[in-house]
Homo-oligomer: A and B are copies of this chain.
Amino acid sequence: ADPEAGKAKSATCVACHGADGISPNPLWPNLAGQKDQYLVKQMKAFRDGDRKDPLMTPMAAGLSDEDIANLAAYYSGL
């Protein structure tokens, strides 16, 4: 996976998850340093409807498996 491509893709994530992956809101999870496969599993769950959230569902809808792998590589590496 390509963390740089993940960083580029993360522009829409920053508002809730923070520019450095530390969320500005106690209700939204930090992503910095989180486990990569866990992140992949949750993004796919939001995309495929196994996990539902009014904010995350639309965000994950357009992500490809490659986007997801790159985003997970980026955030797990922070």
Chain A residues within 8 Å of chain B by Cβ, number: 15
Pairwise interchain contact A38-B34, C-beta atoms closer than 8 A: no
Pairwise interchain contact A27-B23, C-beta atoms closer than 8 A: no
Pairwise interchain contact B28-A35, C-beta atoms closer than 8 A: yes
CB pairs A–B below 8 angstroms (19 shown)? A23-B38, A25-B35, A26-B35, A26-B36, A26-B37, A26-B38, A27-B35, A27-B37, A27-B38, A27-B41, A28-B35, A28-B38, A29-B34, A29-B35, A29-B38, A30-B33, A30-B34, A30-B35, A51-B51
Chain B residues with Cβ below 8 Å from A34 are 29-30
Q: Which residue of B lies closest to A26 (CB)?
A: B37
